[in-house]
Amino acid sequence: MNTDELRGLLAERATDAGAPPAGLTGEVHQTIGTMRRRRTGAVVLGLAAVVSGAVLAVNVVPGSSSRSSDPVDQPDPTPSRTVTKGDAPVMPGAGVVLDPGRWTLLPDGDDPGVRAVVDIPEGYESGEWFVGSATAPFRAIGLWNIARVFENGCTHEGGAVRVDTAAEVAAALEAQQLTTTTRPVPLTLDGYDGLTMTLTAPSDRPGFSSCKVDRLDIFDTAGGDGSRFMETPGGVDHYWILDIDGNAYLFNAYAAPGTTDAQVEELAAIVESTRFSVPDEG
């Protein structure tokens, strides 16, 4: 992928925010867990998270309520499952520092058995359903089983469009009101075809508090238990959208302002290292 484009769109155009503290991934996960108890349905890591008194424009990945955990409880750092391809352990509980190596990322949404095995470098923590940097500037990668794209994420007029393929996801995102996107570009990742593109939230407003649900909804996951939304004007996401085993899957990447060239390249390398395990392959 074009690292310069990713750096420019994710880092330079992202909204400035206060510097996050060390051990950020676990604290962000804790904030999401608290927010989940306050709202019905899914709550996402696409909020302007208040972490140790510092506001961070996150705009990354949500979690499904089926995998939520009480933020007061201490996670069990021992992985519970492994997959056949590469025998890579599944992400442990949130806030656990990951040893460098191969780890299995489970998609947010309905779970038909697809797994993404990725190379995680030093300095990352498990967010349970996403991978985040342990220190500032915050970077994160998440995987979604995507099913619906909102026509208007602010008013919800027109509802959400059902999407089953990468092409349908890209078309729906391009047609989405308020947000802007780059032109989808074909890609192949681990033998699976798809499209890559960047989406930017509108920056000509102070926030999304006037929207129907106080945020800008982008898409929902299969099963409806996960939702990607933004609360930061001008927020930028980079997407890798793939057709896998009859469903559309989407990698979502975010890099906070101040991210270096090497750190941006690291994000891309994590996604591009992916080896998928799907039920049909055993």
In a domain, 93, yes or no: yes
Over residues 25-53, mean pLDDT: 37
pLDDT of 267 strictly over 60: yes
Tokens representing 21 are 């503290």
In a domain, 71, yes or no: no
Tokens representing 34 are 């608290």
| pLDDT tens per residue across span 46-56 | 322 322 222 22
Whole-number pLDDT of residue 104: 94
| pLDDT tens per residue across span 139-182 | 889 999 999 999 999 999 999 999 999 999 999 999 999 999 99
Length of the chain (residues): 282
Whole-number pLDDT of residue 273: 96
Higher pLDDT: 81 or 121? It is 121
In a domain, 76, yes or no: no
Tokens representing 174 are 């391009």
d(CA 282, CA 39): 38
Over residues 79-83, mean pLDDT: 35
In a domain, 75, yes or no: no
The residue range of the domain holding 150 is 3-66+83-281
In a domain, 92, yes or no: yes
Burial of residue 168, with CB atoms counted within 10 A of its CB: 0-12 exposed, 13-18 middle, 19 or more buried: middle
Higher pLDDT: 15 or 217? It is 217
CB-CB contact of 93 with 128 (8 Å) = yes
Give the pairing type, strands 275-277 and 115-120: antiparallel
What's the structural domain count of the chain? 1
In a domain, 157, yes or no: yes
State the chain's mean pLDDT as an integer. 75
d(CA 150, CA 81): 34
In a domain, 78, yes or no: no
Whole-number pLDDT of residue 72: 29
Whole-number pLDDT of residue 32: 41
In a domain, 72, yes or no: no
d(CA 192, CA 245): 9
pTM of the model: 0.73
Concatenated DSSP letters for 249-268? EEEEEEE-TT--HHHHHHHH
